[in-house]
Structure 1
């Protein structure tokens, strides 16, 4: 950083305190025969009243373990909750395709169907 400020030091200290307090947290991954890829997608329409953008979120599980997740503001303003859900589902579908291809390459198995549940 070219010109660090006091606010940067406070942010770093907060991150370090968080990490120190969560060292016992974790996600357990178990190997099983039922390793289906399942994704869940949802959105919240017009959460931010200042810019009118909705929030998108998705999580993907391999078996019973979460492997990837995302929560972010949508790049465009949705005119309805249905449109916001559609944009969220589209983003999740793109992630599902990428994960399906990655898993096929890593495991050497055929591509599997991905279940995507939209909320």
Structure 2
């Protein structure tokens, strides 16, 4: 059948250094279907000032159209991790979307129009090392006070897994929210580790997990702090056991360099651009380190 060029609406572009995955045509088709070809692009997927109101069944717009659009956006998340938070947030209003929710969903499309050439690049040669960034937006939801968990997982310089999801319970401190995010990202690290082992791939070193919450980082390294979060006992021992035996290293990263921040809350275009540039620099540093 020849070289792989398209797979489930994902365009695969081979280069000398690896594969570039793009959904540019898929995005163009959606914009055409919704008559947004001429819409003006925006620099961020969500506004940092306009807050989404709660769903309202009595004032809801056509639910089927909203759900269909969210389904299309969820599939675009395969090559656009930067829209993960927006799609996750908008998915919470499926039962009673308002005009403001519909406008916010169309804003994501306007952002995608401006980033049509963006996608995922997979280097063919990259160090076999797992690195993750975990973050939490404590009490960020105005409707129920719940926090958002976000993480990004790299295999060498390649992004292989990411998540943005609202936590199931209301937590009383940023430490609890941050530690819950650490536990979820640790579980994903272990899953990828076991998957690599099953296919015969061994890692060069123990995974490294970066977080910008100093309190959460201290908790996972020091048993003394356990008494303060007894209600998170299972998450505590799950991460602490791995740290103690050296199977996982947890390091602090400044909030300005927390790459998972883009998946935890709306960001201004300057901060979003800064994180995208840092992500690009991190990939090339890891790639050059392997080449050299």
User: TM-score w.r.t. structure 2 length?
Assistant: 0.35
**Structure 2 match to 1:42:** 135
The alpha-carbon deviation at position 78 of structure 1 amounts to 1.0
The alignment partner of 1:29 has SS state of: strand
- What is the deviation of 1:50? 2.5
Give 1:13 shift: 5.7
Equivalent position SS for 2:122? coil
State which structure, 1 or 2, has the greater radius of gyration over its C-alpha atoms.
2
Partner residue of 1:3? none
Give structure 2 stretches of 5+ with no counterpart. Answer: 1-61, 74-105, 213-292
For residues 6-44 of structure 1, give each alpha carbon's deviation from its aligned partner in whole angstroms, at most 9, with x where no partner exists. Answer: 5323553673895x9576432111122512111110001
Is the CA contact 2:153–2:159 (under 8 Å) kept in the aligned structure 1? yes
Q: 2:149 maps to which residue?
A: 56
The number of aligned residues is 113
Q: What is the aligned partner in structure 2 of residue 104 from structure 1? A: 197
Query: d(CA) in 2 for partners of 1:63 and 1:104?
Result: 16
After superposing the two structures, state which structure 1 stretch, 29-38 or 7-16, moved more: 7-16
Higher helix share: 2
Partner of 2:32: none
Of 86, 102, 114, 2:207 maps to 114
Q: Which has the higher strand share?
A: 1
SS in 1 for 2:123: coil
TM-score, with length taken from structure 1: 0.79
Contact 2:128 2:202 in 1 (8 A): no
Structure with larger RCO (C-alpha < 8 A, sep 6+)? 1
Secondary structure of residue in 2 paired with 1:113: coil
Q: Which runs of 5+ in 1 are unaligned?
A: 1-5
Q: 1:8 aligns with which of 33, 42, 64?
A: 64
State the superposition RMSD in angstroms.
2.6
